[in-house]
Chain A
Amino acid sequence: MRTDRARSLAIAASLALAMVAGCSQAPGPPTDTRKADEAAITAAGVALGQAAEAKDLDTCMSFYVDDPVLFVPGAPAVTGKDGVRQALAGFLGVKALKLETSGLIIDVARSGDLAFERGSYSNTITDAKGKTTTETGKLALVWKKQADGSWKIAADTNASDK
């Protein structure tokens, strides 16, 4: 008798434990990854800037989704990876580039699939003749989290201050 009772007790206890364990593994609300996402986007932005200053077009392009859009002042919208690549190649085709950003603010969606970044930029460009000009403006970026967890730019939109 005692053994039976002990056994049933053990079964009930294991059942309860299994339920608790099962419960804790049930899909609940998604974890809030926004802080980590913000840090990842900041890092991606820095890496993109460094690649641009190094005139490394391939690395620059690795930060864009497969169907990006690029909005720059004074030219129609650029759509598609080939178009963006061509535009960036032109941008990088100067003697030297110094790219600075400031006041960047990143808003990550609760679900961690979309994020938006905006702020100011200051681009110092040295042309083939060695003449240096600095241009300031505003940027607004749409970032999308990829299947591998990385963040890439879906829309790169800019407006000059002058």
Chain B
Amino acid sequence: MLRFRSFSLMLATLAAVFLGACSHQPAALPDNRAADAAAVQKADADWSLAAQSKQADTWLAFYADDAVVLPPNEAMATSKDEIRKSITDLLALPGLSVSWQTTKAEAARSGDLAYTYGTYELASNDAQGNATTDHGKYSEVWRKQADGSWKCIVDMWSSDLPVAPAPAPKTKHRAAKHSHRRKHHAN
């Protein structure tokens, strides 16, 4: 009898434990999308401000270790050395002034990835020393780092300005996508 009672008691206890375990089961993750999007947008704005220093190291600090840079008019930069060269060349443009503004920032529900896109303005001097201006759009993918900060893992931009005419324009295809033949690195 005692054995049966204690067994019943044990089952009841077991049930209580399961109930407890149930209620302590991790609930759905908190929705931090708005805060994450705001954090990414702030990082993007900080980046544009930091770019005013025209220091490659300052700029590069916004990239994650596995970042890739997809600039216009040159090949994809996938290694740290390639990225450094691409950004150093950009920052070395004479009379450079560059800044950008986020149009949209959105984060995943899980808070590990996010993206931004927006517009940039760029002014520099051409080879003849004449002031030129450029403007365009950019898109960036961001990954949250172990320390909670957001770093850019994909950085792409392109000019809004029409393609510069080729020296001897035999054709003038105006495909909506990818018709691009800028002669110089204007952005």
Contact = CB atoms under 8 A, between A and B. Distances in A.
Given A19-B19, A160-B72, A162-B181, A94 B175 contact: yes
B114 to A, nearest CB: 8
Contacts of B26: 28-29
A71 to B, nearest CB: 5
A75 B160 contact: yes
Interface residues of A, number: 61
B35 interface: no
Given A15-B12, A137-B180, 14 more contacts: A1-B1, A69-B117, A72-B158, A72-B177, A74-B158, A74-B182, A76-B160, A89-B176, A91-B175, A91-B177, A111-B108, A127-B173, A129-B171, A161-B73
Interface stretch (B46-54, B89-97, B123-131, B149-157): B149-157
Interface string B1-21: 100110110011011001101
Contacts of B154: 116, 118, 140
Contacts of A81: none
A110 interface: yes
A135 B143 CA distance: 30
A88 B176 CA distance: 6
A116 B141 CA distance: 7
Q: Which of B22, B26, B73, B154 has the most CB of A within 10 A?
A: B154
B4 to A, nearest CB: 4
The 6 closest A-B pairs by CB, nearest first: A109-B108, A111-B110, A90-B176, A160-B180, A110-B110, A111-B109
